[in-house]
Amino acid sequence: MRVHIATDHAGMELSAHLITALSANGYEMVDHGPDTYDAEDDYPAFCIKAALAVVADQAAGVDALGIVLGGSGNGEQIAANKVQGVRAALAWNLDTAKLAREHNNANVVAVGGRQHTVEEATELIEAFLAEPFSNAERHERRIGKIATYEATGEVAE
């Protein structure tokens, strides 16, 4: 699986750790930055680029997911979710990480690097990456309604 990862200055250590650890576990890691530490950097560009790459890969039939990191993960999740086709979920415990995939077929996970130890964050992300989508009809229906709104602006009841 290809995994696109992006962060801001608050998640750089976690990002470097994840790139090494996940690569060792067989994931093809693609780093969308930043390349150097800058306490004044702005996360949206990094996260949007990673999200765009996930959508492009998935459209091309590539098995791909994304990771966006920051201090809280909130802004990074919001930025990623502005990309059409992205379903980014903030994971703060194992249940939210797994359910994001199982019920919502999330394709990007957001984690707050200042909210967890490196070990905890790694466990959340590994759980997210390993969890399959359930393909349950009710979940497919709900995701379809979100996609319809995203594409047309129409709210499906």
Residues designated catalytic: 76, 103
Is 81 annotated to bind ligand? Answer: no
**Is residue 101 a contact partner of residue 124, using CB atoms and an 8 Å limit?**
no
Is 107 annotated to bind ligand? Answer: no
Is 87 annotated to bind ligand? Answer: no
Is 114 annotated to bind ligand? Answer: yes
Tokens 């098995």 label which residue? 63
Is 93 annotated to bind ligand? Answer: no
Task: At 136, list the tokens.
Answer: 């349950």
Tell me the DSSP string of 33-68: S-SS--TT--HHHHHHHHHHHHHHHHHTT--EEEEE
**Is residue 97 a contact partner of residue 77, using CB atoms and an 8 Å limit?**
no
Is 8 annotated to bind ligand? Answer: yes
Q: Residues annotated in the binding site, as ranges?
A: 8-9, 71-75, 104, 114, 138, 142
Binding residue ranges for D-ribulose 5-phosphate: 8-9, 71-75, 104, 114, 138, 142
